[in-house]
């Protein structure tokens, strides 16, 4: 499947390059990011997308990426794009769940599918169509352009030995994961990436999750916590996207729109390719520094899974588009996993 996806992306890339240009060169598209511009992998993903877009368009389509807070605060990017205050944004999709509930699922599904299945559903299984339907009322075009590998479960200053250890815990956690740990008695907070360290250092929160080890290292969590837990049950795969004000999007020609899509798909391949091998050496650095890298005990994961199922059903009951997306994703995953389980090989 991965080879097929890569070939599809390559074909799209070539299509974008080979088609005649229908419009004159335009100035760079200003993109307000939810991440610091220099953030490893996540911020870098927008810069890489900009390079790919320039390549497929022969230099006629360009992006100027602005880091979090440069144009608007990180967690206000969606509203700014929707209103036209800024023409485009780069985000983690799940940040907008308070406004568009289905984005909580689209960003990452707790105990949901891994990157391969999530990718197939988003671009080929109907996921993107559902997401766009939800965004239409906000006058926003969405292109999922970056797929993040399974993340860490989080950083803690105490061991998590049982579900009771979440009671009273103040934790920064994004998306539906926050609602899940609240069911176990924790108090979740959503804080933008560039602000987490200070919140943790000053005691506003007692634990945090953010992303992959290479990214967490760049934010310095290893300097002020003791325990690093896996797996990232709340984000087994997660999407970042390019969002464009619909009025701006419609000004691009059909060929230019296809070039955006081609660059986007190529960027997904990049995001999946660069992540896996980079994490191991960073984990060894953490261990050498005295950080205890651990797995959540099975009873903890079982409690989180049960709470996750409850949260998903509650969200589905309260929002019809969320329900449509959840039913669609579960059906797609069931079909895909039937094949993948037959092909699974023993680990030893």
Binding-site positions: 151, 172, 209-210, 235
Locus of tokens 């105490």: 158
| Binding residue numbers for substrate | 151, 172, 209, 235
Q: Tokens in use for 320?
A: 């019809």
Residue 120 makes CB contacts below 8 A (sequence gap 6+) with: 1, 5, 332, 336
Pairing assessment for the beta strands 292-295 and 227-230 based on DSSP bridges: parallel
Q: Which helix (H) or strand (E) holds 46?
A: helix 42-56
Nearest to 155 by CA among 293, 277, 42: 293
Residue 172 makes CB contacts below 8 A (sequence gap 6+) with: 188, 189, 190, 191, 196, 199, 200, 205, 207, 208, 209, 210
Taken in order 63, 76, 179, 207, the sign of the CA dihedral is positive
Residue 198 makes CB contacts below 8 A (sequence gap 6+) with: 204
Q: What is the dihedral of CA 87, 246, 78, 330, to 10 degrees?
A: -140
* Contact between residue 296 and residue 229 where contact means Cβ atoms under 8 Å apart: yes
- CA-CA distance, 211 to 206, in Å (whole number)? 17
* Contact between residue 243 and residue 88 where contact means Cβ atoms under 8 Å apart: yes
């Amino acid at each position: 499947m991965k080879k097929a996806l890569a070939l599809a992306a390559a074909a799209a890339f070539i299509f974008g390059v080979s088609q005649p240009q229908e419009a004159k060169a335009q100035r760079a598209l200003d993109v307000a990011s939810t991440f610091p511009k220099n953030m490893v992998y996540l911020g870098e993903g927008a810069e890489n997308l900009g390079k790919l877009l320039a390549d497929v368009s022969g230099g006629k389509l360009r992006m100027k990426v602005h880091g979090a807070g440069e144009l608007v605060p990180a967690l206000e990017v969606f509203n700014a794009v929707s209103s036209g205050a800024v023409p485009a944004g780069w985000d983690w999709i799940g940040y907008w769940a308070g406004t568009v509930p289905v984005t909580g699922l689209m960003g990452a599904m707790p105990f949901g599918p891994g990157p391969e299945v999530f990718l197939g559903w988003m671009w080929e299984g109907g996921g993107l169509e559902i997401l766009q339907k939800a965004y239409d009322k906000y006058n926003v075009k969405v292109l999922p352009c970056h797929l993040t590998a399974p993340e860490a479960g989080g950083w803690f200053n105490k061991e998590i030995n049982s579900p009771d250890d979440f009671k009273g815990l103040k934790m920064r956690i994004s998306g539906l994961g926050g609602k899940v740990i609240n069911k176990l008695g924790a108090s979740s907070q959503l804080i933008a990436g560039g602000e987490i360290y200070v919140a943790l250092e000053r005691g506003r929160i007692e634990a945090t999750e953010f992303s992959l080890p290479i990214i967490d290292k760049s934010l310095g969590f290893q300097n002020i916590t003791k325990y690093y837990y896996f797996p990232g049950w709340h984000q087994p795969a997660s999407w970042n996207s390019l969002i464009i004000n619909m009025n701006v999007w419609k000004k691009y020609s059909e060929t230019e729109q296809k070039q955006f899509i081609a660059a986007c798909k190529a960027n997904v391949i990049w995001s999946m390719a660069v992540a896996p091998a980079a994490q191991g050496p960073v984990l060894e650095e953490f261990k050498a520094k005295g950080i205890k890298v651990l797995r959540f005990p099975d009873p903890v994961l079982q409690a989180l899974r049960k709470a996750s199922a409850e949260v998903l059903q509650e969200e589905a009951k309260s929002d019809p588009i969320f329900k449509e997306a959840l039913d669609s994703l579960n059906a797609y995953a069931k079909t895909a996993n039937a094949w993948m389980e037959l092909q699974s090989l023993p680990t030893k």
